[in-house]
Amino acid sequence: MSVSDNIKYFLTNEIPSNVKLIAVSKTKSVETILEAYQSGHRIFGENKVQELVDKYHALPKDIEWHMIGHVQSNKVKYIAPFVSLIHGVDSFKLLQVINKEGEKKKRKINCLLQFHIAKEETKFGLDLVEANEFLSSEEFENLKNVCICGVMGMATYTEDLDLIRSEFKELVYIFNQLKNTYLPNSDFTEISMGMSGDYKIAIEEGATMVRIGSLLFGARNYIQ
Ligand SMILES: *Cc1c(COP(=O)(O)O)cnc(C)c1O
Protein backbone atom coordinates (compact mmCIF):
# COMPACT_ATOMS: atom_id res chain seq x y z
CA MET A 1 0.00 0.00 0.00
CA SER A 2 1.17 3.53 -0.75
CA VAL A 3 1.47 6.17 1.95
CA SER A 4 -1.62 7.80 0.49
CA ASP A 5 -3.56 4.52 0.77
CA ASN A 6 -2.34 4.08 4.34
CA ILE A 7 -3.70 7.46 5.32
CA LYS A 8 -7.04 6.81 3.63
CA TYR A 9 -7.27 3.43 5.32
CA PHE A 10 -6.49 4.95 8.69
CA LEU A 11 -8.99 7.75 8.38
CA THR A 12 -11.70 5.35 7.26
CA ASN A 13 -11.10 2.48 9.65
CA GLU A 14 -9.07 3.54 12.65
CA ILE A 15 -9.83 7.13 13.52
CA PRO A 16 -13.28 8.43 14.47
CA SER A 17 -14.32 11.56 12.59
CA ASN A 18 -14.10 13.73 15.71
CA VAL A 19 -10.40 12.89 16.16
CA LYS A 20 -7.80 14.73 14.08
CA LEU A 21 -4.95 12.79 12.55
CA ILE A 22 -1.56 14.47 12.65
CA ALA A 23 0.54 12.62 10.07
CA VAL A 24 4.02 12.70 11.58
CA SER A 25 6.39 13.09 8.63
CA LYS A 26 9.66 13.71 10.48
CA THR A 27 12.72 12.32 8.63
CA LYS A 28 10.55 11.63 5.56
CA SER A 29 11.33 13.28 2.22
CA VAL A 30 9.37 16.01 0.51
CA GLU A 31 8.46 13.47 -2.20
CA THR A 32 7.02 11.08 0.36
CA ILE A 33 5.00 13.85 1.97
CA LEU A 34 3.68 14.87 -1.45
CA GLU A 35 2.58 11.27 -1.93
CA ALA A 36 0.72 11.47 1.37
CA TYR A 37 -0.74 14.82 0.30
CA GLN A 38 -2.34 13.08 -2.70
CA SER A 39 -4.70 11.35 -0.27
CA GLY A 40 -6.23 14.74 0.45
CA HIS A 41 -4.77 14.83 3.94
CA ARG A 42 -3.46 18.23 4.96
CA ILE A 43 -2.26 17.99 8.58
CA PHE A 44 1.39 17.07 9.06
CA GLY A 45 3.62 17.07 12.12
CA GLU A 46 7.37 17.62 12.47
CA ASN A 47 9.60 17.68 15.52
CA LYS A 48 12.59 19.75 14.40
CA VAL A 49 12.43 23.45 13.60
CA GLN A 50 14.86 23.46 10.66
CA GLU A 51 13.25 20.45 9.03
CA LEU A 52 9.80 21.97 9.49
CA VAL A 53 10.86 25.28 7.92
CA ASP A 54 12.51 23.55 4.94
CA LYS A 55 9.45 21.41 4.30
CA TYR A 56 7.10 24.36 4.68
CA HIS A 57 8.97 26.16 1.89
CA ALA A 58 9.15 23.10 -0.35
CA LEU A 59 5.54 21.92 -0.09
CA PRO A 60 2.04 23.22 -0.94
CA LYS A 61 0.90 26.11 1.20
CA ASP A 62 -2.44 24.60 2.18
CA ILE A 63 -0.67 22.14 4.48
CA GLU A 64 -1.40 22.69 8.16
CA TRP A 65 1.96 22.26 9.91
CA HIS A 66 2.07 21.12 13.51
CA MET A 67 5.24 21.41 15.58
CA ILE A 68 5.15 18.35 17.84
CA GLY A 69 8.69 18.37 19.23
CA HIS A 70 10.53 20.35 21.86
CA VAL A 71 11.04 23.97 20.77
CA GLN A 72 13.91 26.12 21.96
CA SER A 73 12.95 29.71 22.65
CA ASN A 74 15.51 31.12 20.23
CA LYS A 75 14.01 29.11 17.36
CA VAL A 76 10.38 30.14 17.74
CA LYS A 77 10.87 33.01 15.30
CA TYR A 78 11.47 30.64 12.39
CA ILE A 79 8.12 28.87 12.70
CA ALA A 80 6.03 31.76 14.01
CA PRO A 81 5.00 33.01 10.55
CA PHE A 82 3.22 29.85 9.49
CA VAL A 83 2.89 27.16 12.16
CA SER A 84 -0.71 25.99 12.80
CA LEU A 85 -0.21 24.50 16.23
CA ILE A 86 2.72 24.11 18.63
CA HIS A 87 2.09 20.95 20.69
CA GLY A 88 5.07 21.10 23.04
CA VAL A 89 4.75 24.23 25.15
CA ASP A 90 6.43 23.14 28.36
CA SER A 91 7.30 26.41 30.11
CA PHE A 92 5.82 29.82 30.69
CA LYS A 93 8.99 31.37 29.33
CA LEU A 94 8.46 29.57 26.02
CA LEU A 95 4.84 30.68 25.92
CA GLN A 96 5.94 34.29 26.43
CA VAL A 97 8.44 34.02 23.58
CA ILE A 98 5.78 32.54 21.30
CA ASN A 99 3.49 35.43 22.23
CA LYS A 100 6.19 37.95 21.37
CA GLU A 101 6.87 36.36 18.00
CA GLY A 102 3.14 36.20 17.33
CA GLU A 103 2.93 39.92 18.05
CA LYS A 104 5.71 40.64 15.55
CA LYS A 105 4.00 38.55 12.88
CA LYS A 106 0.54 39.92 13.78
CA ARG A 107 -0.74 36.39 14.40
CA LYS A 108 -2.33 34.57 17.25
CA ILE A 109 -0.34 31.35 17.55
CA ASN A 110 -2.15 28.19 18.64
CA CYS A 111 -0.45 26.24 21.42
CA LEU A 112 -0.94 23.12 23.51
CA LEU A 113 0.51 22.82 27.00
CA GLN A 114 2.66 19.72 27.22
CA PHE A 115 2.36 17.76 30.45
CA HIS A 116 4.78 15.22 31.79
CA ILE A 117 2.59 12.15 32.31
CA ALA A 118 5.13 9.38 31.66
CA LYS A 119 7.09 7.58 34.33
CA GLU A 120 10.24 8.22 32.30
CA GLU A 121 12.57 11.09 33.14
CA THR A 122 13.39 11.73 29.52
CA LYS A 123 10.15 13.29 28.42
CA PHE A 124 9.48 17.01 28.54
CA GLY A 125 6.49 18.61 30.12
CA LEU A 126 4.84 20.69 32.79
CA ASP A 127 3.15 19.47 35.94
CA LEU A 128 -0.17 20.75 37.17
CA VAL A 129 1.38 22.89 39.90
CA GLU A 130 3.57 24.80 37.45
CA ALA A 131 0.68 25.26 35.04
CA ASN A 132 -1.65 26.48 37.79
CA GLU A 133 0.95 29.01 38.81
CA PHE A 134 1.26 30.78 35.48
CA LEU A 135 -2.32 30.33 34.31
CA SER A 136 -3.49 32.27 37.36
CA SER A 137 -0.97 35.08 36.84
CA GLU A 138 -1.57 38.52 35.44
CA GLU A 139 1.28 38.07 32.98
CA PHE A 140 -0.64 35.19 31.44
CA GLU A 141 -3.76 37.28 31.00
CA ASN A 142 -1.73 39.83 29.10
CA LEU A 143 -0.64 37.39 26.42
CA LYS A 144 -2.78 38.36 23.45
CA ASN A 145 -0.95 36.59 20.63
CA VAL A 146 -1.21 33.01 21.82
CA CYS A 147 -4.22 30.78 22.04
CA ILE A 148 -4.08 27.87 24.46
CA CYS A 149 -6.06 25.22 22.58
CA GLY A 150 -5.54 22.29 24.93
CA VAL A 151 -3.00 19.82 26.26
CA MET A 152 -0.49 17.31 24.91
CA GLY A 153 1.26 14.36 26.48
CA MET A 154 3.32 11.28 25.74
CA ALA A 155 2.86 8.03 27.59
CA THR A 156 5.71 5.87 28.80
CA TYR A 157 7.27 3.68 26.11
CA THR A 158 6.20 0.32 27.50
CA GLU A 159 4.26 -2.87 26.85
CA ASP A 160 2.26 -2.20 30.00
CA LEU A 161 -1.07 -1.14 28.54
CA ASP A 162 -2.57 -0.39 31.96
CA LEU A 163 0.21 2.07 32.68
CA ILE A 164 -0.29 3.78 29.31
CA ARG A 165 -4.03 4.00 29.94
CA SER A 166 -3.53 5.47 33.40
CA GLU A 167 -1.18 8.11 32.01
CA PHE A 168 -3.70 9.12 29.36
CA LYS A 169 -6.37 9.28 32.05
CA GLU A 170 -4.11 11.61 33.98
CA LEU A 171 -3.81 13.92 30.97
CA VAL A 172 -7.59 14.00 30.59
CA TYR A 173 -7.89 14.82 34.29
CA ILE A 174 -5.42 17.69 33.87
CA PHE A 175 -7.33 18.92 30.82
CA ASN A 176 -10.61 18.99 32.76
CA GLN A 177 -9.02 20.73 35.74
CA LEU A 178 -7.60 23.49 33.58
CA LYS A 179 -10.76 23.85 31.55
CA ASN A 180 -12.92 24.22 34.64
CA THR A 181 -10.55 26.54 36.45
CA TYR A 182 -9.01 28.84 33.86
CA LEU A 183 -10.21 28.25 30.35
CA PRO A 184 -13.95 27.51 30.52
CA ASN A 185 -15.52 29.18 27.50
CA SER A 186 -12.48 29.44 25.33
CA ASP A 187 -10.88 27.52 22.51
CA PHE A 188 -9.50 25.06 25.04
CA THR A 189 -10.75 21.88 23.40
CA GLU A 190 -7.86 19.66 22.30
CA ILE A 191 -6.22 16.63 23.88
CA SER A 192 -3.23 15.53 21.80
CA MET A 193 -2.20 12.03 22.84
CA GLY A 194 -1.48 8.73 21.14
CA MET A 195 1.17 7.59 18.66
CA SER A 196 1.57 4.50 16.46
CA GLY A 197 1.92 2.18 19.45
CA ASP A 198 -0.81 3.53 21.71
CA TYR A 199 -3.32 5.53 19.65
CA LYS A 200 -6.15 3.04 20.19
CA ILE A 201 -5.96 3.49 23.96
CA ALA A 202 -5.62 7.25 23.52
CA ILE A 203 -8.79 7.41 21.44
CA GLU A 204 -10.68 5.30 23.98
CA GLU A 205 -9.57 7.69 26.71
CA GLY A 206 -10.67 10.82 24.85
CA ALA A 207 -7.90 12.02 22.53
CA THR A 208 -9.04 14.67 20.05
CA MET A 209 -5.73 14.52 18.15
CA VAL A 210 -3.45 11.56 17.52
CA ARG A 211 0.11 11.94 16.20
CA ILE A 212 0.98 8.98 14.01
CA GLY A 213 4.20 8.49 12.08
CA SER A 214 5.58 5.03 11.51
CA LEU A 215 2.24 3.30 10.96
CA LEU A 216 1.57 5.65 8.03
CA PHE A 217 5.02 6.18 6.58
CA GLY A 218 6.86 3.03 7.62
CA ALA A 219 9.71 2.83 10.11
CA ARG A 220 12.04 5.81 10.30
CA ASN A 221 15.64 5.49 9.24
CA TYR A 222 17.63 8.09 11.13
CA ILE A 223 20.88 7.30 9.32
CA GLN A 224 20.08 8.86 5.96
C1 LIG B 1 7.75 10.87 16.40
C2 LIG B 1 6.64 11.36 17.24
C3 LIG B 1 5.35 10.82 17.09
C4 LIG B 1 5.00 9.70 16.14
O5 LIG B 1 5.62 8.52 16.50
P6 LIG B 1 5.23 7.11 15.83
O7 LIG B 1 5.52 6.13 16.88
O8 LIG B 1 6.10 6.98 14.63
O9 LIG B 1 3.81 7.15 15.45
C10 LIG B 1 4.34 11.36 17.88
N11 LIG B 1 4.58 12.35 18.75
C12 LIG B 1 5.81 12.89 18.91
C13 LIG B 1 6.00 13.99 19.90
C14 LIG B 1 6.89 12.41 18.16
O15 LIG B 1 8.10 12.95 18.34
Whether residue 176 lies inside any domain: the answer is yes
Q: What is the DSSP letter of 208?
A: S
Whether residue 25 lies inside any domain: the answer is yes
User: What is the Å distance from ligand 1's center to 219 Cα?
Assistant: 11
Of ligand 1's listed atoms, the one at least distance from the Cα of 88 is 13
Pocket test for ligand 1, best of 15, 22, 24, 192 (most atoms within 8 A of CB): 24
pTM summary value? 0.96
Whether residue 45 lies inside any domain: the answer is yes
Of ligand 1's listed atoms, the one at least distance from the Cα of 212 is 9
CATH number of the domain at 176, please: 3.20.20.10
Listed residue (124, 197, 192) closest to 157, CA to CA: 197
Whether residue 224 lies inside any domain: the answer is no
Of ligand 1's listed atoms, the one at least distance from the Cα of 24 is 4
Q: Identify the domain containing residue 82 by its residue range.
A: 3-217
User: What is the Å distance from ligand 1's center to 104 Cα?
Assistant: 30
Backbone angles phi, psi at 174, to 5 degrees: -60, -45
| Residue 172: predicted pLDDT | 98
Of ligand 1's listed atoms, the one at least distance from the Cα of 47 is 15
If you average pLDDT over residues 69-73, what whole number do you get? 96
Q: How many structural domains compose the chain? A: 1
Residues 15-53: pLDDT tens digits? Answer: 999 999 999 999 999 999 999 999 999 999 999 999 999
Sequential DSSP letters for 118-184: SS-TTS--B-HHHHHHHHTSHHHHT--SEEEEEEEE---SSS-HHHHHHHHHHHHHHHHHHHHHT-T
Whether residue 223 lies inside any domain: the answer is no
If you average pLDDT over residues 197-224, what whole number do you get? 90
Residue nearest to atom 12 of ligand 1 (CA): 68
User: What is the Å distance from ligand 1's center to 181 Cα?
Assistant: 30
